[in-house]
Structure 1
């Protein structure tokens, strides 16, 4: 600790000298008067003279002593100041390197003059010399990322109003964007904001690590949410199992209860599945296999059972001893139900008499049932990947119908058509096709399904009915036109024959009536022939059907 030296000030020396001089003047005369009392006059004069020399000598010695004392005090003070200066420089250097290692730099921003005072480290961060000819405030703002500049300026106004600053933004350092953090306080003068004093820290590495960690945690949480898995961690040495939040989400059990013993979960397995699953996992641990999986049913908190798919990974010590098992339980109950529905649907489709054809979005055949294989004579392997027109259509297939099918497929529209297909044997056959588009769970078009029904016999019957209708139309036309003509003629000639008395005219009328009768008889014979022809076809069809 520094000792206080009263002689370090020249004024103190002068004051001390005056004080001692005054004391000397007052006391010396009294002392001398006492000493020379009774002495001869000559001796008294000598003593008075000696008093002056003694004062001069004493004063000289006193001054010498005081000056030396003053010089020693100044020297000690200079030594102390030098030591403090060296310590300060050392501490400043240590602080400089500490700031540099910590990537921290101090700054002061003077609000009235819009000037910034930087520490050497802040200059160094930008690769500048401390005496660089720049305008610090303007230069600093130019280094802020454009997307962060507005926020930084808004933060500045907020700091002036509230008195404290803590803000993170991007700053260009070494030609790269770094995340930095500013912390500072407002210094007031005469009750008004005078300057903002603070420090800046480069937190880019920390920020990026935290960002990566947060991204990883976020991805992990998103994966859990997306996969709906219940994650479990079985520590074999402690015989404890820890679950994540998926346990509650999937099965309704509270995972916050902590660690469960393995028997808790085993008891939740369906009694029919329990022995099989436990034998499987015991063998997995005993043989120290890396991976394990099983499908079984689990009792939920609401009393229902769900199908789950459980898979796990075994962690071992350096010597291969099983240490932990980390697994994930996936709820596949809905999938199992859909699989069962699909199985039943597939069974129904495979057994229906109508042909079923499933096509992709390009209209190519991807699957047919056995009924369609029998109908077409082609196997699924022969049909798969083919367009129907490439393998099923032939010369009698209507081009208009094919164009209608193509137009419907372009707009994914439902259609119902009758068309001639050709079997593998080359024989044509008629089918009725009901086609509709199919969509996946995201409502995206995934293909088409055709229900194909053979209508060859129906088309033949329709053709026969059309022929019969045509014959009946001809008969009706004969009845309405051919027979009406001779009948009208007969009626007219008969009327004329009744009103004439001329024998020759009557004979002429009767002759013409006879011709009309013969003409009508011929028409009747033609009609009878057509009826007989029609009846013959009907009998032939009945015999064919009976056969």
Structure 2
């Protein structure tokens, strides 16, 4: 049964007009204001006369919410109490956010709703700004080329970006709110497990590289401790490591070439030069002398070539 209000209801008049929160009574079928209190007049900027004689409920709702308003009114015609968060517009065009509570009332025989307004704009704006900031952070974390995850103090995953999914081959849906080693037991014997516990216990940053056989990847981890748990950045270093291995193999080959040149080739060459020098002391005809000189020049030329090869091999090895 709807609350009935008439001229004889002195208690209603006192509670309604002296309430510090904006209040009004609106006729359901026409959306006309039948009564407003002083708090509504002050808060919305309309005079009591403007509320009752010039505007309707539609004037304090944004244009883009008019249809939603009509659908809401149709749904609540037979409901006793409604609590809703809505957007309102003041006389000067200021948009505010309100928590609304409305009751069905019989106001001098008319089917109406009595409405109490709580302005929550300040908190709503803070929430919107916080949400926007969180969204910007999430967008940044999702766009970076590093894997990034956060863990609470029990090592349960609280955030997992898409690069973490790619590098560690585990989806967010599978790992979120779980420990790494719950999903993949091989982490229990890894350096990751040890370093996570160390960083959380000692509040110390940790950076290390580890080869994870199950992923066939080298990964560089950096762990940052915080009051709520741990933040972990990581990069796939596999290609870099393979490049280093290839370079090491090439350097080993170059060193081997230098060793062969220095010890296995230059030694017999030095013997040849020694023999040529000793033959200079032996008498021989002009033809043999010229042949020895040509052999000496060829041996010396080969010696210079071997030295150049050694220098180039040493230079490439250092680079």
Q: Highest CA radius of gyration, 1 or 2?
A: 1
Match of residue 243 from structure 1: 39
Q: What's 2:72 paired with?
A: 280
Match for residue 314 of structure 1? 103
Q: Tell me the equivalent position of 1:326.
A: 116
Which residue does the alignment assign to 2:257?
Answer: 475
C-alpha distance in 1 between matches for 2:264 and 2:185: 45
1:66 matched residue in structure 2: none
Query: Is the aligned partner of 1:363 residue 2:145?
Result: no
CA 295–472 in structure 1, closer or farther in 2 if over 3 Å, else same: farther
Deviation at 1:420, TM superposition (A): 2.6
Q: Alpha-carbon deviation of 1:276?
A: 2.0
Question: Would you say the 8 A contact 1:363–1:447 is kept in 2?
Answer: yes
Q: How big is the shift at 1:272? A: 0.9
RMSD of Structure 2 on Structure 1 (CA): 4.9
Contact in 1 for aligned 2:157/2:177 (Cα 8 Å): yes
Give the secondary structure class of the aligned counterpart of 2:80.
coil
CA contact (8 A) 2:148 2:161 kept: yes
Structure 1 residues 489, 392: closer, same or farther in 2, change over 3 A? farther
Q: Is the 8 A contact 1:231 1:326 kept in 2?
A: yes
Is the partner of 1:243 in helix, strand or coil?
helix
Alpha-carbon distance in structure 2 between the residues aligned to 1:259 and 1:361:
60
Could you list the per-position Cα deviations for residues 327-360 of structure 1 after superposition, in whole angstroms to 9, with x for gaps in the alignment? 3131213423443554566567567775443322
The 3 A distance-change label for structure 1 pair 297 and 232 is closer
Match of residue 231 from structure 1: 21
Alignment of 1:480-491 (within 5 A): 480=262, 483=265, 485-491=267-273
Distance 2:260 2:88 in 1: 81
Q: 8 Å contact 2:45–2:90 — kept in the other structure?
A: no
Question: Unpaired runs of 5+ in structure 2?
Answer: 1-19, 27-32, 284-298, 314-319
Distance 1:246 1:421 in 2: 67
Q: When the two structures are superposed, what TM-score results if normalisation uses the length of structure 1?
A: 0.37
Change in 2 beyond 3 A, CA 1:231/1:482: farther
Please give the alpha-carbon distance, in whole angstroms, between the structure 2 residues aligned to 1:268 and 1:353.
Answer: 48
Alignment of 1:405-420 (within 5 A): 405-410=196-201, 412=203, 416-420=207-211
Q: 1:288 to 1:478 in 2, by over 3 A?
A: same
Indicate the structure whose relative CO is greater, using CA pairs within 8 Å and at least 6 residues apart: 2
Instruction: Determine helix, strand or coil for the equivalent of 2:22.
Output: strand
1:454 aligns with 2:236: yes
Per-residue CA deviation, residues 375-430 of structure 1 (Å, 9 max, x unaligned), is 444343432344335555749x864x6544443344555555433335xxx44223
Structure 1 residue 368: Cα displacement? 2.7
**2:203 equivalent to 1:421:** no
SS of residue in 2 equivalent to 1:231: coil
Deviations 1:6-63 (A, max 9, x none): xxxxxxxxxxxxxxxxxxxxxxxxxxxxxxxxxxxxxxxxxxxxxxxxxxxxxxxxxx
Paired with 2:270 and 2:196, the residues of 1 have a C-alpha distance of 55
Q: Which runs of 5 or more residues in structure 1 are unaligned?
A: 1-229, 248-252, 439-444, 502-516, 532-547
Per-residue deviation, 1:459:
2.3
1:480: Cα distance to partner?
A: 4.7
Tell me which residue corresponds to 1:498. 280
Contact 2:149 2:233 in 1 (8 A): yes
Q: In structure 2, how many angstroms separate the alpha carbons of the residues matched to 1:499 and 1:275?
A: 118
* Structure 2 CA distance for partners of 1:316 and 1:268, relative to 1, 3 Å: closer
Gap change, CA 1:235 and 1:408, over 3 Å in 2: same
Inter-CA distance 300–462: structure 2 relative to 1 (3 Å threshold): farther
Is the Cα contact below 8 Å between 2:102 and 2:113 reproduced in 1? no
Q: Structure 2 CA distance, aligned partners of 1:448 and 1:295?
A: 39
- Distance in 2 of aligned mates of 1:304 and 1:492: 104
Q: Distance in 2 between matches of 1:297 and 1:432?
A: 53
Change in Cα spacing, 1:261 to 1:419, as seen in structure 2 (3 Å) is farther
Contact preservation (8 Å) 2:24, 2:36: yes
Residues in 1 aligned to 2:221 and 2:89: alpha-carbon distance in whole angstroms? 46
Name the residue aligned to 1:295.
Answer: 86
User: What is the TM-score when the length of structure 2 is the normalising length?
Assistant: 0.57
